[in-house]
Amino acid sequence: MPRSRAFLAVSALCLLVLAQIMAPAARAQSILRDAETEQFLRDIGTPLMEAAGLDPRAVTVGLIWDPAINAFATLGQQVYFYSGLIVAADDVLEVQGVLAHELGHVAGGHAVRFNEGVAPASNISILSLVVGAALIAAGAGDAGMAAMMAGQQAAQGKFLAFSREQESRTDQAGAQFLEKAGVDGSGMISFFRQLQGEEYRLAIPQDNAYNRTHPLSGERISQLQDVLERSPHWKKGADPVLQARYQRIRAKLIGYVSEPRATLKAYPLTDGSAPARIARAYAFHKLAEDEKAIAELDALIARTPNDPYLLEMKGQVLLESGRVKDALPPLREAVALSGGNPLIASMLGHALVQAGERDGNAETFAEAEQVLRTSLARDNQNPFGWLQLETVYERRGDKPRLALATAERLNVSRGDPRAALNAATVASQGLPRDTPEWLRAQDIVMTSRNQVEDMKKTRRSGR
């Protein structure tokens, strides 16, 4: 093999190895936002965050639409549950156990410390590539490729061992957080047993964790059992109020993500509980049987007339079934009863936009703008809210503020930074100079321009 071809082959293999070690699997994921669910996650998370020495105001706990039974922590002190985990978890103790583990990653700064595991693995891989390149250049092609493959395997093993050790330490930290927060840790064990059942079902060997990022569930159970059983809170059970709230948000999620027939099978008409009625309301709504959906919700509202989340659901069903004016009263009441929850307010803003488009009333659009701006001031990470505000400004012919709302939406949704840059530039050129809106447009111009430059550098380095 000529030296130039050998060098190119080695370079390509080097990039491949590093990509395999450093790049997580890319998958399209959709964040699910629901006011009731987010409040529940905050409520169960706050004692655990405080036990972990974290500021609850700085930690985000969210939900991703994905059927996998999984959760993860990422940069920025963010924890995400997959919807499949909430569906699979039997009770709130299991969710608290998983959350305690993920907060262990946050408290340990593991997302930031990722390079501690990558660097040794990369060194092994690069060394093997250098040796392999020398052998190939000397004419020993087979020996050179063997050296490279052996180095790649050793690098992978080094990184996976680091990951497993990190997971084990995080399990122990999670157990400590549960005890300090006064939470029964039996849910952590029962959830690992559920995962172990999945491993058996998938015929995953139980005698060797070498090729796994996490220890085998059986190993995790044996390492945690004694620690958790020594806690004074062992087997005291779940908080009944939290358990009832969990069953409700779980049923809501099942109704939202599952096929209606499956939901109605899981929650038959003979079940008059609140979780069952909520799940069926979404199932009937998806089947376009909205009168049945409203009947389920009205039965619950009759029991608890001041529940903002039930009123929000009723408003949503009415709005999405085309009964826009009927949706406004329950949504207004839901906003008031929730203390102006920004997600509920954004749905009210959406209903007002729809009403304004139907009646052409400028006052309706003015109310929609006020509701949406107030909502987004409290939670600007809501692309749906920005999209509604775009509609308001488009109908009004306010091009600079339309461009700013578009830039905000693209910035939040991590869309094309070039489009965000263009929109923010248009906004900054049309808005009064040195106003808060103009300054915000300048901020987005700067961050988007930096993102565009980073993309260009990445493309150049990839050539």
Q: Mean pLDDT per 10-residue run, the chain (463 residues)? A: 42 39 45 96 97 95 93 90 94 96 85 44 45 49 51 46 60 91 92 72 49 59 82 93 98 97 97 98 97 98 98 98 97 98 98 93 94 96 96 95 96 88 96 96 95 82 58
- Best CA proximity match to 387, nearest among 349, 356, 417: 349
Q: Output the pLDDT for position 129.
A: 47
Q: In what order do the strands lie in the sheet with 78-82?
A: 30-32, 60-65, 78-82, 71-74
Which residue in this structure is represented by tokens 């939470």? 183
Full-model pTM? 0.78
Report the C-alpha gap between 62 and 47 in whole angstroms: 17
Report the C-alpha gap between 407 and 214 in whole angstroms: 40
Give residue 381's identity as a one-letter amino acid code: Q
DSSP labels for 110-168?
Answer: TTTTHHHHHHHHHHHHHHHHHHHHHHHHTT-HHHHHHHHHHHHHHHHHHHHHHHHHHHH
Q: Output the pLDDT for position 110.
A: 54
Report the C-alpha gap between 89 and 111 in whole angstroms: 25
DSSP code of residue 23 = P
